[in-house]
Structure 1
Amino acid sequence: MAEISGVVERIWRYPVKSTGGERLDTVEVDGRGLAGDRLYAVRDGSGRLGSGKNTRRFRRMDGLLRLGSRLGPRLGAPQLLDPLGSPVEDADAFLRAYLEREDVALAREDAVPHFDQLPVSVLTTATLDWVRAAVPAAVVDERRFRPNILLRTPAGTPPFVEDTWFGREGRVRGGVRLAFVRSSERCAMTGLAQPGLPHAPEILRAITLAHDGRLDALATVARPGRLRVGDAMALA
């Protein structure tokens, strides 16, 4: 039997990977994820993508999180925003000057998805409230964790309730079905400074001690559809 787990409070899309995102009232969800999410990334001359960490696939590029990005209604090339929120006229030229690297440019996704792990991240207000209580001196909101969906959960919902969703589907009114798989493994990016949020490394320490550094529920798209703020999500 389906059970209501919460209501969609905010929807976030990140047109350029590792930059600040845009809040939406509604969005199409297709087999890839939220339409346009992480569709672009900052790519260097070796093909590695700008991120908050270094791996074989990603290159740490400090400062990306201070930038913003947004997409037009037709999902064309994204608009890059500088740290003050002003649109950038020439994204590639700006990035080269801002990052002090001559080999970077905006790149659209090709055969390999830009996602770190799975395409859709859902975070509950119950878990977010726990983070606020665990690190009361830090400025905390969901932007620290870059979810696609912030889900308002009923009073009394325990933190990390997302762990109980794995292997189940979340279904919303517009037909979207999300198949929950696992949680994100958090890195130093959770504490990096971004507009309105100062550097706060204690956030990652708290999550690591309490929950092995994991936070949210990651999902694949089991059925496309339209997602709207205010939609109830039921677990099946």
Structure 2
Amino acid sequence: MRVGTVERLRRHPVKSMLGEELRAASVTERGIEGDRAYALLDVGSGLVVSAKHPRRWAGVLGFTAVTAPGGGVVITGPDGAVVDERGLSRRLGREVRLVDAPPQGASVERSVPEEVLARGPHAEVGFTVNELGRAAPPGTFFDFAPLHLLTTAALAAADGAAAERYRPNVLVRTSGAATGFVENAWVEGELVIGARLRLHIVTATPRCAVPTLAHGPGLPRSTAALRTLAERNRLVPLPGMPALPCAGVYARVLTPGRVAVGDPVVLLS
């Protein structure tokens, strides 16, 4: 059953930074080529830097990372100036290193969504420490799985929130009269995108503080980006987890392929 078409493609070469728009991309079992290829490592704590700890790292979302033509990555600050590790450390107020492989047992701190809603993303809130990539290939920086999909129907159900707040790799324009968080029904199913790419949808994507934060100069803070999900799409993503505000779905790659804007998206089961 055709459920939509690819509306937008995005990759984020450095974890928790703003990324780049694509017209087409190769997708392997490690996700979109070049996506989350790098991350910042907090030298003091040994943890991978993530905006999921907004009190410390919300400023990372002011930086933009793009893949360099000859390989590597170029990072620019909010003022458009190119920055290196030293510049990042100075601006972020902590010593960081740009790394292309996670340390053994790499983890991130994730704020508790209910406390974010009650106190605000920059207040002193509780955190959980989560190991990276439970459904992703080893040696990657993904929070859980290598691809994240979101639909235009879900964005409409979230009162028209900007897709960039939820950082999907693939934004799917839903077909026909589909409304609400339609991708919830894809969990445990398989999608084919374009001629070859085949995905297994693993789970709904739980949200934390990140959607509420400022994303560069164009998207100011918005607690509603999380509160609306808490009111309208609270799910238990995996056994043993509490009900959490969710938007979009995580996927792992069954058959690699190339994906382009305009490709059909077909639900197999």
TM-score of the two chains, using structure 2 as the length reference: 0.78
Q: Quick one: percent identity of the two aligned structures?
A: 36
The Cα shift of 1:87 comes to 4.7
**Matched-pair contact (CA < 8 Å) for 1:50–1:59:** no
**Matched-pair contact (CA < 8 Å) for 1:43–1:106:** yes
In the TM superposition, what whole-angstrom CA distance separates every residue of 1:104-158 from its partner, at most 9, and x where no partner exists? 011112453211111101100001111125xxxxxx3100000000001123102
Give me the whole-angstrom Cα distance separating, in 2, the residues matched to 1:59 and 1:131.
25
* Pairs within 5 Å for 1:54-69: 54=53, 60-69=56-65
In the TM superposition, what whole-angstrom CA distance separates every residue of 1:69-109 from its partner, at most 9, and x where no partner exists? 110345x221101113x251x420111111011x2011112
Match for residue 107 of structure 1? 99
Extract unaligned runs of 5+ from structure 2. 103-137, 235-244
Amino acid at match of 1:176: L
Match for residue 136 of structure 1? none
Amino acid at match of 1:83: P
Give me the whole-angstrom Cα distance separating, in 2, the residues matched to 1:60 and 1:26.
34
Extract unaligned runs of 5+ from structure 1. 134-139
Match of 1:202 among 218, 224, 228: 224
Structure 1 runs (4+) greater than 6 angstroms displaced: none
Give me the whole-angstrom Cα distance separating, in 1, the residues matched to 2:195 and 2:86.
40
**Matched-pair contact (CA < 8 Å) for 2:2–2:175:** no
Match of 2:4 among 3, 6, 12: 6
Query: What is the number of equivalent residue pairs in this alignment?
Result: 221
CA-based RMSD: 1.7
The worse-fitting range, judged by mean Cα deviation, of 65-74 and 33-42 is 65-74
**Matched-pair contact (CA < 8 Å) for 2:29–2:146:** no
Match of 2:67 among 62, 66, 71: 71
* Pairs within 5 Å for 1:17-96: 17-45=15-43, 46-54=45-53, 60-73=56-69, 76-84=71-79, 86-88=80-82, 90-96=83-89
The answer on 1:211 being equivalent to 2:203 is: no
Amino acid at match of 2:141: H
Residue aligned with 2:177, SS: coil
The Cα shift of 1:193 comes to 0.6
Match of 1:116 among 143, 149, 152: 143
Give me the whole-angstrom Cα distance separating, in 1, the residues matched to 2:61 and 2:159.
21
Residue aligned with 1:214, SS: strand
Match of 2:166 among 145, 148, 157: 145
Give me the whole-angstrom Cα distance separating, in 1, the residues matched to 2:55 and 2:42.
8
Residue aligned with 1:16, SS: coil
